[in-house]
Structure 1
Amino acid sequence: MLRYSGSFVPTEEMINAIEYCETCLNICEAFFLELNNQESCTIPIEDAQLKEQIKKAQSVCEIEEIARTNSLLDNMYNKRLLKYLLMDFCIYVGQSILNIKQFNPQIAFCLARKPFCETLCYLEKMLINPEETVKLVFSDNAQNKDIDNRNNKGINSKETYHAVLKILGLDDLKESIYDMRYAKDIPSIRAIGDRASHIATSGAGIKVESGELNFIFIEDGVIEDFTKIYCKLLPLLMYYVVYVINHLFNKIFGKEIDLKEFNKATDEFFWKENY
């Protein structure tokens, strides 16, 4: 496997940022493991009349119809979707962090685009309305799932983002998290991720200048610049993700993970780095 052999050495601040992001990722993985270990296919039914309906059902299809009509499967679908979204998020972000540590910032940004610009959208929507999010994910209409911040339409609408901030009590973040993910100009996860996917592009806000073709192993200065941006963007995004998942875990699973140590590490990191 090809390895970076240039002269760029990450600063202490960059190393601290990556270590903080790994701490956040470990917490996200702990949420996933908790879900994965305790998932049950047993559906408790307390209503006597409903039990009788199911007993009298003539086929599996009829039982499924009764279950759907009475929302018996909602909780199971919610837990499964949360589990799969968490797995998707953790795998992509884990590989993204691995590549930034291997001095491949372009690959790191390519891998960061999906979890922060798409997967996180569904986690945010689940926090507001889990059942509607399940329907959206399994909908045949692909247009409803587009990322499109024109006219506040796609799955990444600011309306959803602001509603989530209120739920989390993080109103002071205002537009910062949203812009870090979706701004059309660099620096943002979406803009750099889009640019990193092309050898050359004339896209607004991510245009590759003449003679500046976009390859993986490029000048040390470019690697340093994009590593700095990555280390500036990711810590606040990961902090936000931990709180989204913690609230969502409590909403769907009825449990919370103790974040005292995480909050302590967060305070120390952001105070030290003057965020």
Structure 2
Amino acid sequence: MLLIEKGDKVRLPKRYHAVNNICAYIYDHLTEVLSDPYYSQMSQTTFEFGEDEEFQQIVKQSKVHIIDALKTANKKAELETVLTKHLVMSIVSDMTNFIYESIKIAQKGKMSVAFALVRKPFTDQLLILEQILIDKTDFINRFFHNGNPQDYDPSSNKLDKAMIIEAAILKLRFPIFQPKFIHELRYDKSSKLSINWISNHALHIVTNDKDYKTENQNLNFVFSVPEDIESYWHHFFLAIPILLIYTSSIVDKIIFEIIDDKDNRKELRQLQRLIGLMMSFERVQKSRMSTSLFSIISKAIVTECGICKHKNRFKKHDFKLFFYQEIFLCSKCFNPIKLHEDGIKNLSKILG
């Protein structure tokens, strides 16, 4: 369990508990994809091929895997759907294991391990998800039809990572993410904020690259004193909430282009993530939640209580409650209220 409850004894200083818990809630957005029946369409696919006898004969051959059957029958669209689902669910499953262990170990102050563990999910796996979001046909061609790992290796210098991030954010249509900053957090070797910079120190006891060279008479992370650990915590709980929120947004965008979303979960989750991002900035950078942005959202989702008919315009404390409890309360009668359809549509326009 990543959540730190009141009274829990952990090494992590109390000032980081709130942002740790923000990470825990956003982490649950990712694991929910794997376990919640709402996402069951990602684990099963139904096709109707009518009187396609040739395909039926291929499928009836018990030793033929459905993916091979689809390829043999040249069912490209269906094959793309199956492979996209399989790739996304498998990558999310693996990356959540790394992220969980990283946050858990960061709570204990074992920061070289914590930073080493976030390299794979945020520099490699996330880049694959971004490419799937941008153009899944292109990625499936490189991954499956060509099949050469050199064509889809996320560490390849042939990939323009900055361009991929920019294109992914453009598809998200979520105004809070800045492509240059997301790129810096992940790949900028010259930036001490970068996962690339810090994880190279975490993984290698001596580094010779001019951008993250080991200091004279030192070994990376080995001689860390309490002041260093404090600096690592600050770095970790600045970068990881942002990257978690961004990753969850990418995953949701891919998934809800494939499956039904009758409960408008995409918009509600995106609102949660926006609130979480603002709260993490508030905690780590001592900045205030953007009143102008939340004022725009509040105006867009004014909601009438179904019981007392009071029209609610939500405030900062209402948004914080929604982040943690996933409910809004009527400010007059305190009963739970659901956003109206018009409010959801307006939310979708603002948050993508």
Equivalent residue of 2:258, what SS?
helix
Instruction: Give the alignment's TM-score, normalised by structure 2.
Output: 0.66
* Alpha-carbon offset, residue 56 of structure 1: 5.4
AA matched with 2:55:
I
1:65-214 equivalent positions in 2, closer than 5 A: 65-138=71-144, 139-142=147-150, 144-148=152-156, 153-154=158-159, 157-170=161-174, 173-185=178-190, 186-214=192-220
Any stretches of 5+ residues in structure 2 without a counterpart?
1-10, 289-352
Alpha-carbon distance in structure 1 between the residues aligned to 2:241 and 2:154: 26
Kindly indicate whether residue 245 of structure 2 is the aligned counterpart of residue 245 of structure 1: no
* Alpha-carbon offset, residue 11 of structure 1: 5.0
Alpha-carbon distance in structure 2 between the residues aligned to 1:55 and 1:63: 9
Count of aligned positions:
261
1:23-78 CA-to-partner distances (Å, cap 9, x unmatched) read 11111111122477555555412454xx2332455974694444444433221111
Alpha-carbon distance in structure 2 between the residues aligned to 1:9 and 1:32: 29
* Percent of residue pairs bearing the same amino acid type: 21
Alpha-carbon distance in structure 1 between the residues aligned to 2:205 and 2:162: 31
| Shift in alpha-carbon separation, 1:223–1:131, aligned structure 2, 3 A | same
1:222-245 CA-to-partner distances (Å, cap 9, x unmatched) read 211112111111121112112111
The aligned counterpart of 1:19 is 21
Larger Rg: 2
Give the alignment partner of residue 274 of structure 1, picking from 258, 278, 287. Answer: 287
Any stretches of 5+ residues in structure 1 without a counterpart?
1-7
**8 A contact 2:241–2:277 mirrored in 1:** no
Higher relative contact order (CA 8 A, sep 6+): 1
Which structure carries more helix by proportion?
A: 1
**8 A contact 2:12–2:107 mirrored in 1:** no
The aligned counterpart of 1:5 is none
Give the alignment partner of residue 44 of structure 1, picking from 43, 47, 57. Answer: 47
Equivalent residue of 2:217, what SS?
coil
1:184-243 CA-to-partner distances (Å, cap 9, x unmatched) read 122200111112111111112111111221245732122111121111111211121121
* Alpha-carbon offset, residue 109 of structure 1: 0.7
Equivalent residue of 1:73, what SS?
helix
